[in-house]
Amino acid sequence: MDWGQTHTERLRPDQCDIIEKHTQSGLELVEKYVKFVKERTEIEQNYAKQLRNLSKKYNQKRSSKDEPECRFSSYQAFLDILTEMNDYAGQRELIAENLMMNICIDLTKYLQELKQERKTYLMEAKKAQQSLESTYKQLDSSKKRFEREWREAERAAQYAEKTDQDINATKADVEKAKQQAHMRAHIAEECKNDYAAQLQKYNKEQNQFYFNDMPLIFNKLQDLDERRVRKLAQGYILFSETEKHVMPIIGKCLEGITKAGTNVNEKNDSVIVIEQNKSGFERPGDLEFEDYSQGINRASSDSSLGTPKGPMDLLGKNKSKNFWLFSKRSKPAVTEDFAHLPPEQRRKRLQQKLDEICKELQKEVDQSEALGKMKDVYEKNPQMGDPASLASQINQTSQNIERLRGEQSLWCTLYRKPVHFLSSPDGAYSDESTPDPSQAIYAEFDDDFEDEELAAPIGKCTAMYNFPGASEGTIAMQEGEVLAVVEEDKGDGWTRVRRSNGDEGYIPTSYVTITLNK
């Protein structure tokens, strides 16, 4: 039903003030809703910020080289939870961004258009009302003039009749009174005709106002108001749909947290404790009986740990030995070459140090190549840059490469150097030739990694997303593809995998679901 539909059902045109108030109230509701959504976005943004700060606070960003606990499944699960919470915070930020773009900004722009359109319609209504009021004033003026002139004409006629009957009046007086009455009657007739014309004009304009102009304006305002209601309803729906849109991803984050809990393996953690802390020493042999009653010279085994008389009494010949178990000793001083550690732990720390240097060296080599290419470009295209401006960077990179190669050579020597704690039971740390530092990075480790390359898979993984594998050392994969896991994530966010055709490489741990062999 239209606001100006029929004589009995429509709103009266003189109720324009009611329509004005109603439409104004509707626009104020839109403004109130926009303000409500803005405050909701602020809440979401603050919530996401607090979640990110919380994740950052408890995620120390330490690699497994500096934090041995990172290898434990319970510790890794906690890191996974922090990662998922960070992703969850990202989804809350996305909700806030979409609410602001799709509701606040869009509704605010639409609201300005409605206000301008409403102003135009109300101006049309006001103009029509003013025109009708002006016509009515003209009608009222002509009516009053007609009334006044008609009374003057009646008085003139009565005076002329009275004069005509007066025996004392002269003929000239009678003629003059009659002429005056005739003139007044003529003027009154003209005022009557003018009044009739003004009345006809007013009735026509009033009919146009009530049956055409105002109903049309009312219908335009009705259409405007209904469009406002529809747009506001869409905003209400978007308020819900915006959050529903990210629910699947939020669900994956929560599933990831659940998976982190299920991936905790207490047995594997116990094995890791043993692996990290095994010393590489043999267990001590039995203590020999020392018969003081027979005057036998005391002899102690090289593997003796102590006697009931006290460990200090037995040190004698053995005080140069290292007693790693049970003996009460002060904490060894930490040395740069990790000589204070047991053989197995020392080998691991040396290997970690070598890996760090090799990665840093590779980074500097890549930087040097990039600077060389940039210099060639500048030389061929001087307008792009001055080749001389790169000289200091190239020189610094070259110095860094030489320094790192020297450190690499030194640590390779330490890695190959035998450890003189106790004699190694399996001879795993025998002397070998020092590698040539001029060889390619990682070349000296070919023998060490040969067995690792041929190692059996420790589990399998399924890709949740596509990964292009464009970087060196990575491998591409498609969503749903199943790969063999060769090496677990060491805390840097990458897992080493192998295809059935033998191709190997690294992929992001967060892109796959991993199932390890029991």
Which of 180-184, 395-399, 471-475 has the weakest average pLDDT? 471-475
- Looking at the chain, the whole-number percentage of residues with pLDDT higher than 70 is 77
Q: What would the pLDDT profile of 281-315 be if each residue is shown by its tens digit?
A: 566 778 888 777 765 444 444 444 443 444 444 33
Q: Give, rounded to a whole angstrom, the gap between the first and last alpha carbons of the chain.
A: 73
Q: Which residue has the higher pLDDT, 133 or 321?
A: 133
Buried b (16+ CB within 10 A) or exposed e, 263-278: bebeebbeebeeeeee
User: Which pLDDT does position 86 carry in this prediction?
Assistant: 92
User: Which pLDDT does position 374 carry in this prediction?
Assistant: 86
Residue by residue, DSSP assigns 140-182 as HHHHHHHHHHHHHHHHHHHHHHHHHH-TTS-HHHHHHHHHHHH
Q: Classify 379 in phi/psi space as left (phi over 0), alpha (psi -120 to 50) or beta.
A: alpha
Residue 113 parent element (H or E): helix 106-165
- Count of Cβ atoms closer than 10 Å to residue 283 Cβ: 6
Tokens, residue 163: 């004069």
Which of 166-170, 182-186, 462-466 has the weakest average pLDDT? 166-170
Q: What would the pLDDT profile of 218-268 be if each residue is shown by its tens digit?
A: 999 999 999 999 999 999 999 999 999 999 999 999 999 999 999 999 998
User: Which pLDDT does position 271 carry in this prediction?
Assistant: 84
Tokens, residue 213: 């102009």
Q: What would the pLDDT profile of 188-229 be if each residue is shown by its tens digit?
A: 999 999 999 999 999 999 999 888 998 999 999 999 999 999
User: Which pLDDT does position 80 carry in this prediction?
Assistant: 92
User: Which pLDDT does position 63 carry in this prediction?
Assistant: 47
Q: Which of 211, 208, 189 is nearest to 200 (CA)?
A: 208
User: Which pLDDT does position 174 carry in this prediction?
Assistant: 87
User: Which pLDDT does position 418 carry in this prediction?
Assistant: 37
Q: What would the pLDDT profile of 468-490 be if each residue is shown by its tens digit?
A: 887 777 889 999 999 999 988 88
> Which ranges constitute the DSSP H helices of 59-105?
73-99
Residue carrying the six token digits 């009460």 = 328
User: Which pLDDT does position 11 carry in this prediction?
Assistant: 57
User: Which pLDDT does position 122 carry in this prediction?
Assistant: 93
- DSSP one-letter code for 282: P
Give the residue-averaged pLDDT of 116-144.
93
User: Which pLDDT does position 281 carry in this prediction?
Assistant: 57
CATH topology of domain 13-269: Substrate Binding Domain Of Dnak; Chain:A; Domain 2 (1.20.1270)
What's the rounded Cα separation, in Å, for the pair 368 and 373? 9
Residue carrying the six token digits 């002899």 = 299
Evaluate if residue 117 carries a pLDDT over 80. yes
The pTM score is: 0.51
Cβ–Cβ under 8 Å, residues 475 and 503: yes
What CATH architecture applies to the domain 459-516?
Roll (2.30)
CA distances from 469 to 355, 363, 435, 502 (A): 22, 19, 32, 16
Q: Which residues make beta-bridge pairs with 482? A: 462
Which of 277-281, 367-371, 446-450, 485-489 has the weakest average pLDDT? 446-450
Q: Give the mean pLDDT of the chain.
A: 80
Cβ–Cβ under 8 Å, residues 368 and 398: yes
> Of the spans 100-114, 397-411, 460-474, which averages the highest pLDDT?
100-114
Cβ–Cβ under 8 Å, residues 224 and 114: yes
User: Which pLDDT does position 277 carry in this prediction?
Assistant: 74
Evaluate if residue 451 carries a pLDDT over 50. no
- Looking at the chain, the whole-number percentage of residues with pLDDT higher than 90 is 44
User: Which pLDDT does position 279 carry in this prediction?
Assistant: 60
- Count of Cβ atoms closer than 10 Å to residue 315 Cβ: 16
What's the rounded Cα separation, in Å, for the pair 460 and 496? 11
User: Which pLDDT does position 497 carry in this prediction?
Assistant: 92
User: Which pLDDT does position 27 carry in this prediction?
Assistant: 95
Evaluate if residue 428 carries a pLDDT over 50. no
